[in-house]
Structure 1
């Protein structure tokens, strides 16, 4: 959330500058669309090309031109949202500045961080002495300080809430609505540009009507949504009792050291499903209990190690299957009781191998296999796990990771070093 200092010092003029660039982008996209329609798309419209390939190309090229048009709609909507955001945020900022000025006029001081205090410096020595000997006066001043602080905090909160609303509106504007997909029009790209982008800030900020009983930072709630805007359909119910996380990192002699500790207690039930041009996926799971995790890592440029310990007490059940461009996996789990996990692994030149083992106290069975790309790190992960426990047993797992960036960099550095060595050897014979 924004604070007083950020509201007062942020250059809101950058919003109109950005809006102008988005409008200019829309104009350039219109030129590209026109050129594309007059040249590339025309290839499929003449008599010289017929047959199945021509029909496929006609549909594909038409879909591409649709994306150029959708990109213009999206760019114009973003520009409109930015201009409205500037107008409304600037107005709320003026109200905050007015609240500050009113507080100062009432004998208060307001710090750069927005903290209100009684301005004793404006009192004469006699007034200051009288104030120190007047309990009722001190109480009155304290009440006034509280009143003005609340007044200013309310103005800051209004700006912060609008800022979050603008963020929501901009996010929605850039997610494909697929309003002309699935045979309804020329849209052939399910996660492309948004031809249904909303440029009206008030409408774009409205809460998702499919959300039921949820509020920001709420501890309990439910939500249901169908597949739309290129995203999966989902259903969720949760009751969070507590969730705390602590983490940190430092660097010692070129070695990056990091650690995290996390604990959560509560219950959740979720289901996700969807089918897009990226592939198909389905997942359902429910759990109740307490989870805890602690992990430490030590990493240098080409070598790294990690160790992790986890604990769980409760019950859980779930199934999952996914087949996309970046993940193919299937899994199941059912467990009730307590379990503890230890895991360790190492990475060299971008290729890592890790293993984990769990001890179970309680009945259960679990299995998973697949490969996937981590969106945050870009690493590819290949692995599997299996466990079974009629009464007391456990689970074992293996994971192999490949970091294409590190592998490529290591190979390049190795080739460079080999070249230097060859050059040095050649120099001996000169």
Structure 2
């Protein structure tokens, strides 16, 4: 009711000017840097690398222009819509007050017309035969005003949430163009009605298929945290520090009856380190880790009833070191790794009825070594056994195996088999009965 929305127009104009300025910078950079160094006098590998980086820089100037102009447009739309909806709330309150209804700060209306009568008029009214009906009508009308005001306020809030979604999307670069994740958003949409739409219903069905998905992106970001000791939770100490250049994740699935396809991808660039030592009623665990560089992974899985196949691909460039050990009711694990360079791995496996096996092959370019053994239960209740070993003086690799048992799926499969066997026995019995009836 009292918010001053006029600054939105000033801010929108500032974003518009900034977008136009980025366009000028793009033109100047292409003319006075990129073109000058590509006039034919400079040749070789270094020239090729420089031009590749210059093209990415020029692209980001253009992307910055697109993002800034989109934000300017969104803020202009926000001012128009929020001003209109705010006026609608004020007009409703004014109309209610004109008809002798009082509206409190929470938007609740109450009829006060009878309070404005003289003492004699109130006495006559209270002794009128239709007084109870008049009071009931007044309460009903008051509730009607309250409901209308609540709807008008909800419309303001819905638009506010729409603006929030649109601005978040406009400033999130989740494409690999330009300098990749975390740059400026060349695809930013400046139309509030389009960019502010809610995410589609994850349970939406199309021709029997049910799809679900989620994605996120963030960065740059710098932070750290230290917690513990917490004697109640059994936590001695946990510390973490990170300097993220960018992070992006996406996952989704589509299912139709017993057939389900699922997958996900994740990428990270920056530096992060952590150390933790925990003692709980579930066991003990210690872990330290360090990564400087970038890593990315993708995974996919296909299930058809009790049969499933899966695959993963991972890559890392930079330096990493990890040490972890733990023991508890959910299993044991121990391992260590140190590596600097580039490495990639591919995993393939399958499972039937909840029992599975897979193998991972890694290729390493750079010095490193790792060894480990893990046996335990994950957050989904699946038990895993994972031995691994790898070494590389310069060029080398590693190999790992994984075996899994999903008690829930094993039970379901056994139940299905028992159910199928029962139906088969019943069918044989029916057949014998039919033969007996013939004789």
Report the equivalent of 1:206: 197
SS state at 2:35 partner = helix
Distance in structure 1 (CA, Å) of the matches to 2:54 and 2:35: 9
Q: Does the CA contact (< 8 Å) of 2:214 and 2:250 recur in 1?
A: no
Q: Would the aligned equivalents of 1:190 and 1:277 in 2 still touch at CA under 8 Å?
A: no
Q: Using the alignment, how far apart are the partners of 2:211 and 2:183 within structure 1? A: 29
Structure 2 counterparts to residues 82-93 of structure 1, below 5 A:
82-93=75-86
Identify the residue that residue 40 of structure 1 maps to in structure 2: 33
Q: How does 1:244-259 map to 2 (within 5 A)?
A: none
In the TM superposition, residue 229 of structure 1 has moved relative to its aligned partner by 6.8
Q: In the TM superposition, what are the counterparts of 1:385-400 in structure 2 within 5 Å? A: 386-389=325-328
Once the two structures are TM-superposed, the CA of residue 103 in structure 1 deviates from its matched residue by 0.9
Highest Rg: 1 or 2?
Answer: 2
After superposition, what is the alpha-carbon deviation per residue over 1:158-181, rounded to whole angstroms, capped at 9, x for unaligned? 110011011101110111142x72
Q: Name the SS of the counterpart of 1:198 in structure 2.
A: coil
Alignment CA distance shift 1:383-1:121 (3 Å)? farther
Asked whether the equivalents of residues 388 and 395 of structure 1 are also in contact (C-alpha less than 8 Å), the reply is: yes
Q: Can you list the C-alpha shifts for 1:61-115, whole angstroms capped at 9, x where unaligned?
A: 1110111111111111111111111111111112112211221122201234433
**SS of residue matched to 1:11:** coil
- Tell whether the 8 Å contact from 1:73 to 1:194 is kept in structure 2 after alignment: yes
Aligned residue for 1:212, secondary structure, equals coil
Residue in 2 that maps onto 1:370: 289
Which of the numbers 173, 178, 187 marks the counterpart of 1:176?
Answer: 173
1: CA distance, partners of 2:85 / 2:329: 63
Alignment partner of 1:189 is 2:180: yes
> Is structure 2 residue 62 aligned with structure 1 residue 143?
no
Matched residue SS, 1:326: strand
1:12 corresponding residue in structure 2 = 5
Secondary structure of the residue aligned to 1:40 is helix
CA contact (8 A) 2:286 2:324 kept: yes
Q: Is 1:59–2:52 an aligned residue pair?
A: yes
Flag the 1:323–1:19 CA change in 2: closer, same or farther, 3 A: closer
Q: Provide closer, same or farther for how the CA distance between residues 201 and 41 of structure 1 changes in structure 2, counting only shifts above 3 A.
A: same
Q: Is the 8 A contact 1:357 1:395 kept in 2?
A: no
What are the superposed Cα offsets for residues 335-386 of structure 1, whole Å, 9 maximum, x if unpaired? Answer: xxxxxxxxxxxxxxxxxx97431122xxx9977542479xxxxxxxx99764
Which deviates the most, 54-63 or 132-141? 132-141
Structure 2: stretches of 5+ with no match in the other structure: 205-209, 220-229, 234-243, 253-264, 293-320, 335-439
Cα shift readout 1:367-406 (whole Å, capped 9, x = no counterpart): 7542479xxxxxxxx9976432369x9999xxxxxxxxxx
Match 2:213 to one of 199, 220, 224: 224
**1:323 Cα deviation from its structure 2 partner:** 6.2
Residue equivalent to 2:371: none
Kindly tell me: are residues 57 and 200 of structure 1, through their superposed partners in 2, closer, same or farther at Cα, counting changes over 3 Å? same
- C-alpha distance in structure 1 between counterparts of 2:291 and 2:116, whole Å: 66
- Count of residues paired in the alignment: 264
Could you report, residue by residue, the CA deviation over 1:267-307 in whole angstroms, capped at 9, with x for unpaired residues?
Answer: xxxxxxxxx985798999xxxxxxxxxxxxxxxxxxxxxxx
TM-score normalized by the length of structure 2: 0.52
CA, structure 1 residues 175+281, in 2 after alignment: closer, same or farther (shift >3 Å)?
closer
Q: Provide the C-alpha distance between the structure 2 equivalents of 1:204 and 1:104, rounded to a whole number of angstroms.
A: 37
Residue equivalent to 1:326 = 271
Name structure 1 gaps, 5 residues minimum. 1-7, 182-186, 215-220, 232-258, 263-275, 285-319, 330-352, 374-381, 397-430
